[in-house]
Amino acid sequence: MLKKLLIAALLVTSVPAQAGIFEATPSCKKVGKQAAKIMRARQKGVKRKELRVSTKTPAITLAVIKLAYVYPVYNSKAKRKQVVKSFRNKIEFACYNRTIL
């Protein structure tokens, strides 16, 4: 399920890039930073509905939020740190693969 959500999110955001509007598409590094920020909030116990989103929130950010909340909240500080890093890496990897297609 996680993989399907990520693929769907990247397909949604790839349309502007294919249309030649590269400025409107955030860099993969920025997407990764945002993913880490979202997962840190998740691991701190922030509820999904507490995250500030609006009609202007990019589709990729909404998809990353949805993906982050598939993961459980871990008790161990080390495990929380590891899951944040792993999540960021997965999101960046998927983003970079999309941009080289």
pLDDT in tens, 17-71: 433 333 345 688 999 999 999 999 999 999 998 988 888 888 888 999 999 999 9
- What is the reported pLDDT for 37? 95
Domain extent listing, the chain: 2-99
What's this model's pTM, rounded to 2 decimal places? Answer: 0.72
Distance CA 72, CA 29 (A): 24
Going by C-beta distance under 8 Å and a sequence separation of 6 or more, which residues neighbour residue 59? Answer: 9, 12, 13
SS3 label, residue 11: helix
